[in-house]
């Protein structure tokens, strides 16, 4: 038995243990703690009333979230458990154990501190000469919302259910009065049923109001275009002026839905071969000059990337710099967006056509191939020539080597596929927290990589 290493669990420590002895010197925890120290205390939401128990230090809480997200721990309950079981997390938390409610509340309320820390990490990367804001790749990915798609309903169905619930509540009230008169054994049962239906009716009423407001806003946006078409029609000579344009409809359409759990989320699908899921469209701008750091992160409710190019580039903090060239796939092909970036002296390289991938020996019978239509718009012809040039090909080739691997790491290595929070503002804060965690892990790897 002398060949075995001793494992006596009853052996006590001679001196109190130092957690630093259990953490390697090159561990990510040290880098995260240094990065968080650069964030000013004024960015954190702190209870200033002076009542209640002492609070956990905001910098410790932020470092705890960053370190856990960088290691694939996203649930507040799992983070709480990790403060007991994971040595790195226990070191970050200074051997304290915030409960899951405290962790969740801090994550929900400190989006501004996360944004400031995101900026400070990028500035640190620039100081270390690991970041260049010249060539930038832009893309979006669909991430599940914290809601079921089966909780979504259309406007017409919501109106029907509201009327049905009104009748059900009236019937239950009549039965409650009858029960009071007969001295029923359980007089509280009916009022509870009434309360449940009243809560559901309030949610449905709120969903109807949201859909009505969205339809009204859409009609207002379409009003200017409608009046322009009407003016063009009236200027045509003669009696035959063509079909009169249809005025914008301020009522919700049959295809418009609202989710009762997370109204800000929407039904989206990754591509035409995938199923629809209750999701958000997470956008990222990534440094394509070698570092693969996320320079800008934002979330949109729109499934299409068509009108998101400028906003995603604007998500890059001004303190970091302004990109010279932006690479994007054909989903971002929009004349107005391309012209806006060009007007700011930013060169956009956007693919103008999608070519479906097909393996060489496909098991399915081949489909008849149609010749691709020649582009007619002048800007598409110009952009196509630019992307297909030798210099354009060399630059555009970097897009799939930079931004797409970032999404692959986030989804498959870190395991992040669903948001924990609800509502667009909170979801965007969580996406920036995830981007911050990714940047810390990436920058730590770049800094510790051998030179040359």
Q: What is the C-alpha separation between 399 and 135, in angstroms, rounded? A: 9
Does the pLDDT at position 35 exceed 60?
yes
Collapsing DSSP states into helix, strand and coil, what is residue 152? Answer: strand
* C-beta atoms surrounding 91 within 10 Å: 19
Q: Where does the pLDDT of residue 419 fall: very low under 50, low under 70, confident under 90, or very high at 90 and above?
A: very high
For residue 309, give every residue at least 6 positions away whose Cβ sits within 8 Å of its Cβ, in sequence order, or none.
138, 326, 328, 332, 334, 337, 338, 341, 348, 350
Does the pLDDT at position 358 exceed 70?
no
Does the pLDDT at position 39 exceed 90?
no
User: Which pLDDT does position 406 carry in this prediction?
Assistant: 95
pLDDT in tens, 125-143: 988 888 888 899 999 999 9
Q: How many helices and strands, by DSSP H and E, does the chain display?
A: 14, 8
Q: Where does the pLDDT of residue 415 fall: very low under 50, low under 70, confident under 90, or very high at 90 and above?
A: very high
Average pLDDT over every residue of 245-249: 77
Q: What is the DSSP letter of 350?
A: E
Tokens of 346: 């930013």
CB burial readout 225-256, b (16+ within 10 A) else e: eeeeeeeeeeeeeeeeeeeeeeebeeebeeeb
Q: Where does the pLDDT of residue 244 fall: very low under 50, low under 70, confident under 90, or very high at 90 and above?
A: confident
Q: Where does the pLDDT of residue 301 fall: very low under 50, low under 70, confident under 90, or very high at 90 and above?
A: very high
Cα–Cα nearest to 253, from 225, 211, 220 = 211
Phi, psi angle pair for 321, to nearest 5°? 135, 175
pLDDT in tens, 188-240: 555 677 677 777 777 777 777 777 777 777 777 777 777 777 777 777 777 66
Does the pLDDT at position 370 exceed 60?
yes
Does the pLDDT at position 285 exceed 90?
yes
Q: Where does the pLDDT of residue 29 fall: very low under 50, low under 70, confident under 90, or very high at 90 and above?
A: very high
Phi, psi angle pair for 258, to nearest 5°? -135, 135
Q: Where does the pLDDT of residue 365 fall: very low under 50, low under 70, confident under 90, or very high at 90 and above?
A: confident
Q: Where does the pLDDT of residue 150 fall: very low under 50, low under 70, confident under 90, or very high at 90 and above?
A: confident
User: Which pLDDT does position 292 carry in this prediction?
Assistant: 93
* pTM to 2 decimal places: 0.83
Listed by start position, the domains of the chain span 19-109, 132-148+264-355+373-448, 152-259
Taking 3-state DSSP, the helix, strand and coil percentages for the chain, each rounded to the nearest 5, stand at 50, 10, 40
Q: Which CATH superfamily is domain 132-148+264-355+373-448 in?
A: Ribonuclease H-like superfamily/Ribonuclease H (3.30.420.10)
Average pLDDT over every residue of 408-418: 94
């Amino acid at each position: 038995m002398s060949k075995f290493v001793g494992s006596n669990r009853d052996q006590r420590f001679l001196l109190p243990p130092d957690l630093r002895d259990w953490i390697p010197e090159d561990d990510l925890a040290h880098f995260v703690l240094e990065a968080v120290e650069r964030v000013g205390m004024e960015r954190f939401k702190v209870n200033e009333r002076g009542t209640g128990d002492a609070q956990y230090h905001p910098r410790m809480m932020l470092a705890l979230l960053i370190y856990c997200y960088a290691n694939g721990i996203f649930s507040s309950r799992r983070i709480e458990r990790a403060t007991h079981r994971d040595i790195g997390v226990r070191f970050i938390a200074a051997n304290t154990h915030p409960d899951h409610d405290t962790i969740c509340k801090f994550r929900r309320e400190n989006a501004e501190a996360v944004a400031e820390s995101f900026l400070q990490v990028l500035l640190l990367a620039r100081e270390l000469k690991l970041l260049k804001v010249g060539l930038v790749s832009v893309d979006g990915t669909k991430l599940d919302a914290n809601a079921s798609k089966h909780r979504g309903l259309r406007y017409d169905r919501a109106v029907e259910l509201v009327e049905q619930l009104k009748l059900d509540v009236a019937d239950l009230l009549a039965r409650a009065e009858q029960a009071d008169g007969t001295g029923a054994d359980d007089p509280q049962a009916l009022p509870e049923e009434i309360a449940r239906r009243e809560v559901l009716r309030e949610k449905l009423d709120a969903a109807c109001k949201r859909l009505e407001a969205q339809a009204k806003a859409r009609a207002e946006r379409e009003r200017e275009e409608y009046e322009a078409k009407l003016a063009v029609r009236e200027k045509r000579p003669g009696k035959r002026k063509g079909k009169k344009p249809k005025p914008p409809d301020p009522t919700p359409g049959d295809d418009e839905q609202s989710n009762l759990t997370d109204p800000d989320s929407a039904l989206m699908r990754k591509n035409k071969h995938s199923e629809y899921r209750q999701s958000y469209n997470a956008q990222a701008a990534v440094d394509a000059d070698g570092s693969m750091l996320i320079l800008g992160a934002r979330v949109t409710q729109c499934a299409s990337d068509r009108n998101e190019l400028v906003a995603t580039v604007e998500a890059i903090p001004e303190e970091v710099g302004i990109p010279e060239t932006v690479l994007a796939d054909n989903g971002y092909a929009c004349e107005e967006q391309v012209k806006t970036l060009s007007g700011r002296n930013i060169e956009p390289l956007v693919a103008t056509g999608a070519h479906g991938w097909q393996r060489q020996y496909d098991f399915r019978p081949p489909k008849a191939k149609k010749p691709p239509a020649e582009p007619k718009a002048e800007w598409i012809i110009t952009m196509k020539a630019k992307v297909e040039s030798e210099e354009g090909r060399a630059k555009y080739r970097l897009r799939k080597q930079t931004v797409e691997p970032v999404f692959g790491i986030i989804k498959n290595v870190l395991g992040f596929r669903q948001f924990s929070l609800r509502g667009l503002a909170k979801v965007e804060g969580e996406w920036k927290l995830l981007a911050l965690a990714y940047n810390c892990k990436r920058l730590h790897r770049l800094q510790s990589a051998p030179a040359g």
